[in-house]
Structure 1
């Protein structure tokens, strides 16, 4: 038994020494050079190639030419960058997603000229212009800069078109005038012309307010007060309907109903400097003797912004009071008015001591019947609106809902001002 074990150990040692010697011999020899690897084109692709226009290929077709999905996306993005169209083989070759080997494989099949015609001697290339895309008939007077961008014009071109429209007085007037916009090429105008919702010819009475225009105005001016003019009166003075509306809104909203002086009128952006000078000799601002408001007969729930200004409040106080009243749906007691933010407390105190308060038209509801929108928007109810809506589903009784709400007494008290 002992002899057998001895031979087994001896055999193991001999095997181990043999392995170690072989390993040493292997690691001590000089390393042989790595064999050269040559990549070959996919034979199946090479044999099926035929002439193609790279501008017409979609994602799948580029992949069938042997490009990965990532390479394909890069090629398509590069096409957009160079103007949406490859103009030469040389241009396509510069796309870094196409290796020189791959380009050499494809070049004889590409249906493009060798070089871009517009490439100059210095090597600078003019990329193809972006194609103008027209979806249907349109009125260019209503187009914003963003609309022109979507159509295919550059940001600079869009700004120039808007500027030209403003120069004409806010309207292109006719296709003739639109064609005169220097930024729109003859080629692009030819594409746009059938879709323009504009009269073909310029009206004879058109007045271009630019100094260089020799056309004389045919408007018969007479003395007028701009505070008395209505929409049709401004149109009769040569303004478009849109411009006339702008002037009226500016007067009634921005200036609270009247032009106080000529500077107010001149600041209206749709009235050009030339037009203002043309009208100026005929403008007569009449001092209107406004009837004084009898505040002892003026309801605090209908008193206007102008009347509050007349009483002595500044615009901030008057605006805050009108705004709070609107949110409440009307005041229910005079003390509410004094709780309005940003008001002149002393002046408002004088006002409420003189003016009456009629609450008959103030909306009031029960908690069960109150509209959800009213609850969510009313200053006194909006913080409890969701609870009220939830509780009244299973408890259609105002008394139970009040108990479930568990409100502070002062909150409940002011809410009940608007409860039937």
Structure 2
């Protein structure tokens, strides 16, 4: 009986506890949760400093706010582009780096822009800090002074050339700011220390008058440009270097004679104004020009049969023999080498520095054999070939990246999103 009594007592106790709990959670009175705070994603501010993305490890990428998945993508992309980011634009293309994130980091990235990376004297990029300790007059600064301030040798030379262009003085802070070498950021640092007027004087031309060469009156007379010698060109106001350039242009590029007034205009040391000055006095010997043309035609007939000369194997000398000048022949051979061979004749007409009409005559005669031109698929094209080929090099990194995970070429083309005309050119060299 006692056992039964205690069991009933325990049951009643449990029922009371359940009723009390139910009443508490169904009560109309609201519980006060004012002290409860939900934990969201970390909002710790980033303390950014200058960094080279080629030097960062996984932990350092995390400190910049990237997730583990994003870090893995960045490191994989770095391998794809050759193991090293070479410019800010290349880093920006990485899919793990959003526009917003890149915008926050850009000012701190120690990489050059594409333009700086292509510079012939670029070796390793480090952002040099500009340091100024006292007020100074930039007119008195030498190249070494600018280098000590933080500019490179090439930048220092450009600053001095700009000063010379202004007439030997920077004149004002306004003019100093216009020097393209000095960025807005650097100008703001330097500005408080400049000992120069704020505004450019209204009579600014007076600063340069002492540096202008006085115009010498020249006595022109009738002349034949094909027989005029070095001293003759100098007597018309050309410098030693200009006179020699004109003679070299005539004798080397034009095979010994100007054939027309247009040929004279093509010589880059003869400005448009200068040409108009000498034009009324030019008396060309048409017989000489005619004889030179006949000599070229006879020479062509005697040596090479261009109707049997493949445009993908034609030599530099043969192009000169046909009548192209050295610059045009070099451009055509160089373009062909970069392409790995021409696929159609229209490509040849897009070569720089050629006489289009003369080359059209060559194309109408000479055949084009494309059997030895290398072609690949997007999946098996060598990386070096992609990066050096004129039609593929701007999309090479994307192709290399996409084909890691995608084998269907149609899908790769969709991902590349190149312009239709570029795609058409690229497909000329694909199987």
Q: TM-score, normalised by structure 2?
A: 0.30
Q: TM-score, normalised by structure 1?
A: 0.31
Whichever of the two has the greater Rg, that structure is 1
